[in-house]
Amino acid sequence: SRVVNIGFTQMKCVEDVATNRKHQAALLEKAAKQGGQILCTQEMFTSQYFCQVEDHRFFKLAETIPGPSTDLFCKIAKKYGVVIVASLFEKRASGLYHNTAAVIDTDGSLMGLYRKMHIPDDPLYYEKFYFTPGDLGFRTWNTKLAKIGVLICWDQWYPEGARLTALSGAEILFYPTAIGWHPQEKAEYGAAQHDSWELMQRSHAVANGCYVCAPNRIGHETILGSDGKPVSKDGIQFWGQSFVASPNGQVVHRA
């Protein structure tokens, strides 16, 4: 009979990390003031989606955990008494990087991390160049508001991840995401690509009897190479449309 209000953000990112972090913090505070209790960011909100190219200069975007983003969000969580799931580019050690979600409880404590297990390597999604697959397993956290599980983006396509997380007690699954269209493909395949993405996660809700929440970024991003020229003529058009699916698979809210 408990009611827990979910808040998530979808935002357009710019090149400057500090600007993105400040924008994300403002959105989280806005969501908390509107009554959100468990808040989740989109995937890697501190930067544009640099995985459109394999380039060593983007490793400098990674941060430690604890670090500047978690330090700020722990303060916000404690101030408003909310849970925050923050998706970050983690620098674990020199030469060792992960696509990571940090879970922060209502008292501002950093409860733990989930490191993305499934790493894609597709045109303009060259994540294997940057991220080492996670080594922490599929995890749940018994926050003061609900028991939650966190997976990240490409994990969506693998039902085993959702199943194992739900079997460990998760009542709500969160999937911070960065997914969009290759603009040249949108007219022919765009509707089907979006439907597949949403349907897959709705099926996780049905199969596991839990809520599924998927915040996705927005914006049309074209990454510049080291020569100052776009690495792709068209870039990626991130489609947003963040949603919550109930345990019966129905979308109860879509941005």
Calpha distance 191→114 (Å, rounded): 31
Concatenating the DSSP letter of every residue in 177-236 gives: B--EE-HHHHHHHHHHHHHHHHHHHHHHHHHHTSEEEE-B-EEEE--B-TTSSBSSSS-E
Q: Is 153 a catalytic residue?
A: yes
* H-only helix segments in the chain: 17-33, 68-80, 159-167, 183-208
Calpha distance 228→239 (Å, rounded): 26
Catalytic residue among 116, 127, 198, 221: 116
Catalytic residue among 43, 90, 171, 221: 43
Calpha distance 44→217 (Å, rounded): 9
Question: Which conformational region is residue 240 in: left (phi greater than 0), alpha (psi within -120 to 50 degrees), or beta?
Answer: left
Q: Is 54 a catalytic residue?
A: no
Inter-residue contact 10 to 40 (CB < 8 Å):
no
Inter-residue contact 208 to 162 (CB < 8 Å):
yes
Q: Is 43 a catalytic residue?
A: yes
Catalytic residue among 13, 153, 210, 213: 153
* CA nearest to 221, candidates 210, 208, 209, 230: 230
* CA nearest to 205, candidates 234, 236, 163: 163
Q: Which residues are catalytic?
A: 43, 116, 153
